[in-house]
Amino acid sequence: MKKTLFICVIAMLVLAACTPKAPAPTAAPATEAAATEAPVTETAAPQKMDASITVMVPPWAEIPSELIDKFTKETGIKVDMQIVGWDEIHNKIAIAAAGNTAAADVVEVDWSWVGEFASTGWFMPLNEFVTEDMKKDIPLIQTFTAGGNILAIPYANDFRIGTYNKAHFDAAGIKEPPKTWDELVQAAQAIKKAGIVQYPLGFPLSASEGATTYFLLITLSRSGPVFNEDGTLNKENVLSTMQFIYDLIYNQKLVDPNCTVMIDREIAANMYAGNQSFINGDPGMLTRTNDPERSKVVGQTARMLVPGHGDVRSATFGLPEGIGIPVNSKNKEAAWKFIEWFVSPEAALAQFEVNGSLPVRTSIFSEYVNEGKLEQGDVLLEQVGYVTSFAPAGIPAWYPKFSLVVQEALNKVATGTMSPEAATDMIASAVDSFLKE
C-alpha cells in the first residue's frame, strides 16, 4: 500500500512541476563526440576512463568527498566539485554560453530554467543516454523535458514544507502547529511577546531567486495562484502578499529588516542558530536542523504543513532540481557517467543522509518509506497531497525574467522604497510585456 501511495505521490509532483512544451533546443553539432558515442546504459559495467570533469552544483547537492574518490577509483574520472550559490550558477551558465564555453561539464539545472534552456540550446539533449528503465523509475525526468528533448536528470525531489521550532512554540504556550497564515502570525506574536526570539519569522527578501520562490509560496498558500488562466498576473493575490510582507516587517515587526540583504541559506542559518521559530523550506530542512555540526536546535524542531487560508488547508509546489551537460562541454561521455552515478542508489542515500534530499527514484523512495527512514513521513505525504501550481497555464518560458522583476519589486517593498501597490503594478506591467514577446 505504501509503495502504491508513493508512486502516486511522485506522479503528482510530476504533474505539478511540469512546464509547457517549449521550442526544441538547438541540436548539438554533429561533429561533437556525444553525437557518435554509443548510448550508455544504467546496467553497463563501469569502464575506466582517463578523464577529468568539473561539476557545478549548489551547497545542498554536495556529498562526501570519500564518495567522489570512490567514483574516481571505479571509473578513472577525476572530479572537481565546485559548490556555488544557486543564484550564481544561472549567471555563470549564461556568461559561459555567450563565450561558447561551458560553466562546467556537469551543471545544476533548476526546474524553472527548463523553458529558457530549451529555447537557447545551451544544454545538450540526453535522450541517447537515458534508458526506458530510468524513465520509468525517475518520472520527474518529464519535468526536465522540453520539445521532446531531455535537458537534465533530476537528483532532488524537492517541494516546500514547513519546519518549526517546537521548543519555541511550547514555551509560548502553543501546543499545536498553526494551520493558517493568520494563526502563524498570532503564534509569532506570542513567541515575540514572551521574549523567546525577537524575530520569529524569516523570509529571504534580497534580490535573489530564493526571494521569488518564497513570494510564490506565500501567495499560493495564503491567497491563491500568482497567474490567471490567461497567463496574466493575478494582481489581487500578488498585492495581498506584498502588503502582508510589508506589515510583518514594519507594523508587526515579526521579520528582521536585515532579511532584505539575506539569501535563503542565511535565513536557514538563523533557524539552525535558534534565532527563528518557523521556516518554509525543502524536506531536508528537518534533517539539517538536527545535525549537531551545523545546528544548535537539535531535537527541537518538527515538520508542519505550509499554512493555508480559509477552507484551503495548505498549498505548495514542486521544485525538483537536476543536472545536465552544457552543449560546449568537452567531456560529455565522462559527464554522463557522473550523472548516471549521481542518481544511483549509493549517491542518493548519501544525499539523503547528509542533506535530507528526498530520492527521485520511486524504487528508492518506496524503500525509504517501508524502512521508516523518513522522519515524520506522514507529514511529508500529507504535504505532497497539497502540491499544486502557482501558474494554472504552466510555467512560462520567460519565468527567469519574471523572477528578476519580482526580486526587484519585493526587495523595494521590503526596504520601504516602494509601496505594495506600485510593486504589484510593476510586476503586472512586466508580465503583460512578456506575454507580447
Domain of 109: which CATH number?
Answer: 3.40.190.10
Query: Is 250 part of any domain?
Result: yes
Angle at 18 between CA 11 and CA 402, to 5 degrees: 145
- Output the nine-digit C-alpha cell for 300: 527541537
Read off the pLDDT of each residue in 195-209 and give the average, rounded to a whole number.
96
Asked if residue 27 has pLDDT above 60, the reply is: no
Residue 164: its pLDDT value, please? 98
Query: Is 71 part of any domain?
Result: yes
Residues 68 and 92 in one domain: yes
Query: Is 30 part of any domain?
Result: yes
**Full residue range of the structural domain in which residue 105 is found:** 2-158+320-384
Residues 308 and 169 in one domain: yes
Whole-angstrom Cα distance, residue 179 to residue 164? 12
Residues 286 and 370 in one domain: no
Among candidate residues 148, 96, 81, 161, the one with its CA nearest the CA of residue 323 = 81
**Region of residue 160 (left: phi > 0; alpha: psi -120 to 50; beta: else):** beta
Residues 281 and 421 in one domain: yes
Among candidate residues 74, 120, 123, 108, the one with its CA nearest the CA of residue 332 = 123
Read off the pLDDT of each residue in 176-181 and give the average, rounded to a whole number.
97
Half-sphere exposure of 84 (CA within 13 A, CB side): 21
Residue 29: its pLDDT value, please? 34
Whole-angstrom Cα distance, residue 112 to residue 430? 18
Residue 28: its pLDDT value, please? 35
Residue 299: its pLDDT value, please? 97
What is the domain count for the chain?
Answer: 2
Burial class (CB in 10 A: 0-12, 13-18, 19+), 310: exposed
What is the SS3 assignment for 347?
helix
Residues 127 and 179 in one domain: no
What rounded mean pLDDT belongs to the chain?
Answer: 88
Predicted model pTM: 0.74
Whole-angstrom Cα distance, residue 45 to residue 334? 14
pLDDT digits over 360-380, tens only? 887 887 788 778 888 888 898
Q: Say which residue, 379 or 357, is predicted with more confidence.
A: 379
Residues 414 and 378 in one domain: no
Residues 26 and 7 in one domain: yes
Query: Is 393 part of any domain?
Result: no
Residues 45 and 14 in one domain: yes
Lowest-confidence region among 26-35, 300-309, 343-352: 26-35
Residues 129 and 197 in one domain: no
Phi then psi dihedrals of residue 409, to 5 deg: -65, -45
Lowest-confidence region among 261-275, 277-291, 389-403: 389-403
Residue 16: its pLDDT value, please? 54
Whole-angstrom Cα distance, residue 410 to residue 255? 14
Asked if residue 61 has pLDDT above 80, the reply is: yes
pLDDT class for 257, splitting at 50, 70, 90?
Answer: very high
Asked if residue 4 has pLDDT above 90, the reply is: no
